[in-house]
A and B are shown apart, each in its own frame.
Chain A
Amino acid sequence: MNSEEIITVATGVVKSWDWATETSRPLPKQLDVKVKLIKELVPIIVGLRVKRLGYLAAITGIDLGPEVGEMDVLYQFCPGDVVITLRVRVPRQEAMLPSLCEIIPSAEVFERELQEMFGIQMLGLHTTEHLYLPDDWPDGVYPMRKDFDPQILSH
């Protein structure tokens, strides 16, 4: 498949969720899908997976800061030379997302990162142990959040 075909297939998949998504193409080889309803995220990913577009390259969290009060989470899939990005937005307070471990085993490391660094609770991920942060890291402190203050660690 060349990049045009991949994008056509992917757009076709996402079309069935028309009411919950918004698609755009920032660059010729990028497809951006804004997923407005978190509960549709997993079905969309399964849809992509069925079409073999499901090589999950990364899950990226971005904190937009306390003023906005929300965080972006980007699921990046890279079939061929195309980058398909699924975007969801979660509140900073009590952020929750479904885990993809059941469908994509390699998602686990990324999800644990989100959990530790951003404090997003991953539903269906059975571990809360630290993967990156030290064992004696204080609870409820998430270093990748914008309002993280390293002072808290000094004692």
Chain B
Amino acid sequence: MNTKQEPQRFVIPIGPQHPALKEPGNFQFTVDGEIVTKAIVRLGYAHRGIEKAAEERTWIQDLYLIERVCGICSHIHALAYCLAVEQLAHVEAPPRAQAIRVLVAELERIHSHFLWMGVSGHEAGFDTFFMYSWRDRERVMNILEKLTGNRVNYSANVLGGVKFDLDQEQIASIRGGIDFLEERTRHYLDVVATDFMFLQRTRGIGVMSRAQAEIMGAVGPTARASNVARDVRKDAPYAAYKEYPVDIILDERGDLEARFEVRLKELFESFHLIRKILDTLPGGELTARMPRKVPAGEAVMRVEAPRGELLYFIRSNGSDKPERLKIRTPTICNLTSVVKLAIGHQLADVPMILAGIDPCFSCNDRSVQIRTSNDPDGRMLSWDELRQHGIDFYKRLEK
């Protein structure tokens, strides 16, 4: 046996659940003592082959497939797809439909941010926060259900428009819900900005400078928290965002605290926008006529999903099926930044850094393997244990 004491090196795979992507991921972190020295990502646990399947189905069937790329942002996926196909077919959805699309997209952003907030609170060991924010989230779910008939996978879009209309009663209930949520958001903003315990886990952790964010291609709130003004709603307005502009929320600190604040402040923009849409909802048709076959051509569509820019590329060959459909999800862009950011950080901070890009951690409580470099079999840790490790680590610091 080697008697010389070598610093303990562990490899820790985390995953494979990472459901915000088409593919849940598996991360492997090599640590030296407490410090992460290397990070590797492995996707593919939820790789279903959607892009290939889309080539084998018709334009209309694809809509339902696309909606199920991600259950959290199903509307925005379908929206990007519809807009791209409409662009190819030279069809424009009527203004009322576009406004309703934006309305649902913003409601979806609210639900997604609340969800994320709760889950990352949970990662920090702040379960009260988790329970409260999920309780409040049910209000958005109610609204969405009332509007579309579904809690998840709302299926609001059809090619050429939307499926449902708004009536006065719904408008009133949306307003009520929004008022309630706005107040709650104010409270949460207060909590994340002042709670001492929580700040310990977020302030100065996972700092990404503006230059780093740019070179690593970060998108969405993750980029905006590092002062990169990148928001498709503003840069290249789609659907009805031209009529209903939003302000970009920026923060220059670039740490986890900034990411929390940017997302929460974004919610106020969403509330504001929703109210404005309800006030000035244009009248008219809900759908435009769509041909069954889509003319040959190429379209690139970018939209702002809750997690950042989502890009769809579609090539049509003039038949009733797409020739190629490419989906670039926001998390895949932010992944690079996580993998690079984790290096040099405490292992205890890893759960929070991962949660910070909002990869949606609803179900990552699976095998985490810790393995020394000379013991290939390693030791298994669950994600929960790693999370607990983080919580205990900070408790120890307290003393």
Contact = CB atoms under 8 A, between A and B. Distances in A.
B340 A76 contact: no
Contacts, number: 72
Contact of A58 (B42, B43, B52, B311): B311
Contact of A81 (B236, B311, B315): B236
A76 B311 contact: yes
Most buried by B among A29, A30, A104, A109: A109
A30 B51 CA distance: 24
A106 B44 contact: no
Nearest to B49: A143
A45 B60 CA distance: 37
Contact of B328 (A58, A80, A131, A143): A58
Contacts of A55: 214, 217, 230
A109 B335 contact: yes
Contact of A133 (B44, B309, B313, B340): B44
Most buried by A among B23, B300, B313, B323: B300
Interface residues of B, number: 32
Using C-beta atoms within 8 Å of the partner chain, give the interface range for chain A: 20 to 34
Nearest to A143: B52
A134 B336 contact: no
A74 B299 CA distance: 12
B275 to A, nearest CB: 26
B47 interface: yes
Contact of B51 (A29, A106, A109, A144): A144
A150 to B, nearest CB: 9
A57 B328 contact: yes
Interface in B36-55: 41-44, 47, 49, 51-52
Given A26-B298, A55-B214, A76-B311, A109 B236 contact: no
Say what secondary structure dominates the interface of chain B.
Answer: mixed
A60 B326 contact: yes
A146 to B, nearest CB: 8
Given A83-B300, A109-B336, A144-B52, A131 B43 contact: yes
A62 B324 CA distance: 7
Contact of A106 (B49, B217, B230, B298): B217
Interface of A: 26, 29-30, 55-58, 60, 62, 74, 76, 78, 80-81, 83, 85, 104-106, 108-110, 129-134, 143-144, 148
Interface of B: 23, 41-44, 47, 49, 51-52, 214-217, 230, 235-236, 298, 300, 302, 309, 311, 313, 315, 323-324, 326, 328, 332-333, 335-336, 340
9 contacts: A60-B313, A60-B324, A78-B302, A80-B235, A81-B235, A105-B217, A132-B47, A133-B47, A134-B44
